Amino acid sequence: MQKLENYITGSWVTGDGAGQPLYNAVSGEVVAHASTKGLDFASVLDYGRVIGGPALRKLTFQERGLMLKAVALHLRKHLDKFYSISYLTGATKIDSWIDIEGGIGNLFSYASLRRKFPDESFCLDGEGHQLGKGGTFMGHHLLVPKEGIAVHINAFNFPVWGMLEKIAVNLLAGVPAVVKPATITSFLTEAVVKEIAASGILPNGALQLVCGSAGDMLDHVLSQDVITFTGSATTGLMLKSQRNILEQNVTFNMEADSLNCIVLGSDVKPGVPEWDIFIREVKKEMTVKAGQKCTAIRRIFVPQDRIEDVHIALGKALAQTAIGNPANEKVRMGSLAGLSQRDEVKQQVQKLLASSQIIYGSLDSVEVIDADGEKGAFMSPLLLLNEKPFTGMESHEVEAFGPVSTLMPYSSIDEAIALSRLGKGSLVSSIVTADNKIAKQYVLGAAAFHGRILVLNNECAKESTGHGSPLPLLVHGGPGRAGGGEEMGGIRGVKHYMQRVAIQGSPTTITEISNVYQQNAKGKDPGKHPFKKYFEELQVGDQLVTEKRLITSEDIDRFAELSGDHFYAHIKETDFKGTMFERQVAHGYFIMSAAAGLFVDSYEKNPVLLNYGIDELRFTKPVYPGAEIYIRFTCKEKTSQEKKEEDDIEKGIVKWMVEMLDETDELTGVATILTMVAKKPQ
């Protein structure tokens, strides 16, 4: 019988003893055994910190992002293998697509996010702050990778997505990880990690895997480590409360299963598009992954006078769901992850029945296709009705982690909000309504108790990713019962694995530390016009101070005619009494255009390929006729770009600080322009 291997300290090893048997969720047959007995978890964590961490921290965000892209492309070559194994977990093709290709999609998303970071192993966070009147003392915030290891303790329901959505973030941040998937479905996680390891793309120690018990691993975490946990609130609290975690102040991010809800707006009635959208969404969330999703809909709030209509419509929709062997093309809902999981769900349903009744489905029987309903962990979708949701509290306290949802009435939107809050915090809530006033009232009333809120209507339904789909660029997590944690969220997620440190010093010193030019720092003599330099030749701080240009009333008039901007302040005949200006003032955009005329070297071809944008443009002082302006033009930041096609020009992005000053040496405006600059021909 196959025994799963653990990928630790650079090798694949098996644990001691027979190990825990893992079962085919469809047939009940033993698939493999898993054991971590005899593993030295202190060495596992230390290997990641000592070998994986330094290797990742040597790479820039750009290099780490490209590494994630390479892993994603590699995994896509092995989809057939992953799907065939996924069916053994009870997952249908669509379930497996969400898990496998959704996880790979997270790698691609975070690979693309590299463009939001500098070409460094660290980054600045937010804006700098001038701390002195003379401009010689400032402060900023710097983010550096934590020098520990990320410990991911994942749930059984998404053995691939659960791993990839987390490691995408810590690897981009420059932190190694050890993944501990839920044992029951760890055979699929092992298959994916084997392909990642075989690719040789990640540095040694960047990713380790343990299939089985976590043993005493958490006894060896240190203050620089990060723990993420996905699972039940009870288990999460037990882990989070361990003495070593508290003493070391280890970051612990928990995503607990929660009682997510959906609300049918009072404006939605049978016959309107939103009605069908609502029914489809609830059916999908009850049957995808057989309801085994931390984001699945557990509570359904419906206007009192539409309870019967929703009951009938949902019953018809659920009756069309073919249940059985996931490998059969006719099947739309597979099994639960195992017989023990099915038993647990049934036990939870019994608790729910204290205040509810089953109005669709059977707790004891289910018709299945191409499978044995007893040997496999199959279960009928169950729709319950709780007619008194403010007194029958089990619906707001007990979660059956399977295809089980409870229908409940409300009489006003305020009641719907109050009911949603009785879940004491959830990962996600949805409201289906075509009335944006109702949507706003619900969102603002419920937002503090949910990590994400989906407002669903006919306008967005075709493109909506749905109630149950966390997205890489949006935060995933929730307050209270949902664990109080937060993961993903684009740049926000990366920062969870980095240490923020406030730095203080002169602008010149902060520039040298961060490799991003800070206003008032000393400029560097570029030796020649910066536009004549190739990307590699440019240095952050290269600075050009231009000649002066006299601004005349005729200039302003001509720009007004050319642009069509005849705002009263630009017309010299205007009576300026009661305005903010003394007399005719130059257009800010004219000053920016004149600035380009002063700093651009345009008479011969040079390495600057194009100018493609202006960021943070501000006009800080009026420019009147007779003023003389000049420009301080400084290389602010550089980011290398990879070639998309073989015949692409080698290039990088350069940001330039443009400071527009007048004859009194006061700033009249400041901007950041972006140029694409060629690298030296090879």
Residues 438 and 528 in one domain: no
- Please state, as a whole number, how many other Cβ atoms lie within 10 Å of the Cβ of residue 381: 25
User: Is 191 inside a domain boundary?
Assistant: yes
pLDDT digits (tens, 9 = 90+) for 496-547: 999 999 999 999 999 999 999 999 999 999 999 999 999 999 999 999 999 9
Q: What is the pLDDT of residues 538-591, one digit of tens each?
A: 999 999 999 999 999 999 999 999 999 999 989 988 988 888 888 999 999 999
Q: In the beta sheet, which residues pair with residue 87?
A: none
Same domain, 359 and 277: yes
Per-residue pLDDT reduced to its tens digit, 387-419: 999 999 999 999 998 999 999 999 999 999 999
Asked if the structure places residue 485 within a domain, the reply is no
Q: Which band of pLDDT confidence, cut at 50, 70 and 90, is reported for residue 327?
A: confident
| Domain's final residue, options 465, 489, 509 | 465
Residue 667 lies in a domain: yes
Catalytically active residues, by annotation: 255, 294
Residue 1's pLDDT is: 59
Domain with 421 in it:
261-465
Query: How many Cβ atoms sit within 10 Å of the Cβ of residue 171?
Result: 29
Mean pLDDT computed over 421-427: 94
Cβ atoms 506, 521 nearer than 8 A: yes
Number of domains forming the structure of the chain: 3
Instruction: Flag whether 501 is in a domain.
Output: no
What pLDDT, on a 0 to 100 scale, did the predictor assign at position 190?
Answer: 95
Whether residue 24 contacts residue 2, with contact meaning beta carbons closer than 8 Å, is answered with no
Cα 546 from Cα 564, distance rounded (Å): 29
pLDDT reported for residue 155: 86
pLDDT in tens, 194-232: 999 999 999 999 999 999 888 899 999 999 999 999 888
326-344 b/e with 16+ CB inside 10 Å = b?
A: bbbeebbbbbbbbbebbee
What is the C-alpha to C-alpha distance for residues 257 and 606, in angstroms, rounded to an integer? 58
Domain boundary among 256, 284, 302: 256
- First vs last Cα of the chain: how many Å apart? 56
Do residues 251 and 354 share a domain? no
3-state secondary structure of 30: strand
Report which secondary-structure segment, H or E, holds 64. helix 61-76
Cα(659)–Cα(531) distance, integer angstroms: 17
Paired sense of beta strands 129-130 and 30-34, if any? unpaired
Residue 570 domain flag = yes
Has residue 498 been placed in a domain? no
Same-domain pairing of 569 and 668: yes
Encoded tokens for 206: 């960047």
Phi/psi of residue 335, nearest 5 degrees: -95, 170
pLDDT of residue 666: 92
Write the pLDDT tens digit of every residue in 635-671.
999 988 887 887 888 888 999 999 999 999 999 999 9
pLDDT tens-digit profile of 190-200?
Answer: 999 999 999 99
Contact at 8 Å (CB) between 146 and 118?
no
Residues in the chain: 682
- Distance, CA of 427 to chain centre: 14
β-bridge pairing 487-488 and 498-505: unpaired
At residue 602 the predicted structure's pLDDT band, cuts being 50, 70 and 90, is low
Residues 206 and 97 in one domain: yes
* Dihedral sign computed on CA atoms, order 44, 50, 52, 53: positive
Mean pLDDT of 455-471: 91
| 448 and 530 belong to one structural domain | no
Query: 212 in helix, strand or coil?
Result: coil
Task: Please report which helix (H) or strand (E) contains residue 112, including its range.
Answer: helix 102-112
Segment 42-64 shows an average pLDDT of: 95
Identify whether residues 111 and 227 lie together within a single domain.
yes
Rounded percentage of the chain residues whose pLDDT exceeds 70: 100
**669 assigned to some structural domain:** yes
Strand-strand pairing, 487-488 and 207-209: unpaired
| Statement to judge: residues 92 and 18 lie in one domain | yes
User: The domain that contains 51 carries what CATH number?
Assistant: 3.40.605.10
Residue bearing tokens 């003023």? 627
Tokens of 189: 């996680």
Which spans in 201-325 are helix H?
233-240, 243-248, 273-287, 307-319
396 close to 386: Cβ distance less than 8 angstroms: no
Residue 674 sits in a domain whose CATH number is 3.10.129.10
3-state secondary structure 66-89: HHHHHHHHHHHCCHHHHHHHHHHH
CB under 8 Å to 617, separation ≥6 — which residues? Answer: 588, 592, 669, 670, 671, 672
Q: How many CA atoms lie within 13 A of 402 on its CB side?
A: 28
For residue 603, pLDDT over 80 is answered with no
Residues 336 and 194 in one domain: no
Q: Do 531 and 423 fall within a single domain? A: no
Which of residues 256, 287, 320 is at a domain's end? 256
Residues 6+ apart with CB under 8 A from 133: none
Identity (one letter) of the amino acid at 599? F
Q: Give the per-residue pLDDT at 238.
A: 87
Residue 510 within a domain = no
DSSP 3-state assignment of 8? strand
Residues 453, 552, single domain; the answer is: no
Q: What is the mean pLDDT of residues 112-121?
A: 91
Q: Using alpha carbons, select from 598, 665, 667, 605 the residue that is nearest to residue 633.
A: 598
Kindly provide the b/e burial profile for residues 7-44, where b requires at least 16 CB atoms within 10 angstroms of the residue's own CB. bbbeeeebbeeebbebbbbbebeebbbbbbeebebeeb
If asked whether residues 248 and 198 sit together in one domain, one would say: yes
